Chain A
Amino acid sequence: MTNAIQVLILGVMLGGVYALMASGLTLIFGVMRIVNLAHPIMIIWGAFVAYWLFKLYGIDPLVSMPIAAAFMFLVGIVLYKLVYAREAASAKYSEMTVLLTFAVALVMDGAVSTAFSNTQRVTSPPYATDAFIFGPIFIPTAQLYAGIVSIILVGGLFAFLQFTRTGYAIRATTQNRTAAQLLGVNVAFISLLTFAIGSALAGASGALVSFVFSFFPAKHWEWIAVLMSLVVLGGMGKLVGTIVGAFVLSIIAAFVGTYAGATWSTITFFLALFLILLIRPQGLFGDPIEGT
């Protein structure tokens, strides 16, 4: 029983991190119908920003997180202007972005692999090896901090979307682009802003990832499937669904990892992706898929 509570807590903490990692992906898909396969490599870029700031200047990744987010915000703006904006009018936009973002992922992967090589890295702030111990329950400090910060950030994103004027515009654009435009929303600007915010979320989660997991450029290929499984489980583009999906799958993966062995834990995500697409392709919170 104690063991189960321990596993549950670890699953929840990791779920928070996964929710943050996937939130930018689902936001970008929701507003722009871009399936951003480059999202995980953007997380790696964020991780590198935090890694080097720690290595060179000793800045704690929790402190450098806003810097990583701001850096990726700018990268997002440049990418959107250079790559995505010019195809926005195409009828096959969604399909095209799969290839486009794949190419972007390759380029971004190649850039950091060449610059920093593909060795495993991890940021090691003082708390990286600490743990909180409550009687028989043991929680690694790094995962606890990363989980709490992620949950706060996702909560902040949620409040931003729910209560601010810009948040209304983003949600409206997600749900009915034409109507949003007719009511005075500048949808081109909202698309750019959303892409930049999604990229900033990738940067922020990268800073956390840098001390929770070890990372290297090619690791993003593994994350694409993991993050896609969360987004698909929740219903493509539904933020609440993605968050629920992240917690559900992380908790299941934590239990599978503990009781069936760590190698089986990753399979949870792939198996989930497979089963959702077979049984309920629209995901938990998605609208029924029409024949369009």
Chain B
Amino acid sequence: MPELLEVHDVVAGYGNGPAILDGTSIKVRGGQIQCIIGPNGAGKSTLLKTICGNLPIRSGEVLLGGERIVGLQPHEILRKGICFVPQERALFPRMSVRENLRMGGYILNDRAELERRIDDVLERFPILRERAHQLASTMSGGQQQMLTMARTMIVRPRIVMLDEPSLGLAPKIVDQVYDIIKLLRDEGITILLIEQNALMGLKNADWGVVLDLGKTLFEGPAKEILADERIQELYLGRRSKAA
């Protein structure tokens, strides 16, 4: 039985540059929040960009539910059910909340269905419903991140990949963002996220993967990784000293 998403020996890099990922393999189990941690330059963002088709793959395999998705265009991969939220703000600042949600369902052809789904999502996020006609740029950072997350629900993806969802947000807001991430998981959406703040990521995840120099060093239940002394010293200690 294949896992929901499997990455086998992937080699990828930017332009003609060196390979950032050099034989990376990971497996993503369905229904979980899986967090990838690792130092700067470990290839975390590159891995997500490669999976969603934004960065061409040089060799290796990516399988979604056992089906090969290597070589597909980003919008085709989105249609297959993988939604990527990049690190920088991913909203359209001069579009209203509702218009942003509408863009979230750009690949849907049935407009009536799209409007129904938008109403569903707004039902779940009363703050967004109140502000449905407000421009995205006029909302707070936390609300903008909430809108970004809510927007992914429109296409009802199988996997949502998040690149540092807590970046630049106040600690209290970060907790709210993770509450939304857990809500997505409880809706049956699998979450693959990466965090520079490893402690934060693992605390909220079900499964953890340690990635360094493009290789998976270790993986296991997030709680076990948090408790592992070796990993604490190498990847968590350094971070907590800096913080």
Which A residues fall within an 8 A CB radius of B? 165, 168-169, 171-172, 175-176, 178-186, 287
Contact = CB atoms under 8 A, between A and B. Distances in A.
A184 B89 CA distance: 17
A183 B99 contact: no
Interface in B78-112: 78-79, 84-86, 88-95, 99, 102-104, 106-107
A169 B106 contact: yes
Contacts of B95: 171-172, 175
Contacts of A287: 93
A186 B53 CA distance: 13
Interface residues of B, number: 23
Closest 6 A-B residue pairs measured CB to CB? A184-B75, A184-B107, A175-B92, A179-B90, A183-B106, A184-B106
A176 B106 contact: no
Given A172-B95, A184-B107, A178 B88 contact: yes
Contact of A182 (B79, B90, B94, B99): B90
Nearest to A240: B94
B216 interface: no
A186 B75 contact: yes
Nearest to A186: B75
Interface SS, B side: loop
Nearest to A169: B106
A182 B75 CA distance: 7
16 contacts: A168-B99, A171-B92, A171-B94, A172-B95, A172-B103, A172-B106, A176-B89, A176-B91, A176-B92, A178-B86, A180-B92, A183-B103, A184-B75, A184-B107, A185-B75, A287-B93
A182 B84 contact: yes
A232 B171 CA distance: 40
B108 to A, nearest CB: 9
B90 A176 contact: yes
Contact of B78 (A178, A179, A182): A182
Which of B75, B92, B99 is packed against the most chain A CB atoms within 10 Å?
Answer: B92
A179 B91 contact: yes
B21 interface: no
B74 A180 contact: no
Given A172-B95, A172-B103, A183-B104, 10 more contacts: A169-B106, A172-B106, A175-B92, A175-B93, A175-B95, A179-B90, A179-B92, A180-B92, A180-B103, A181-B54
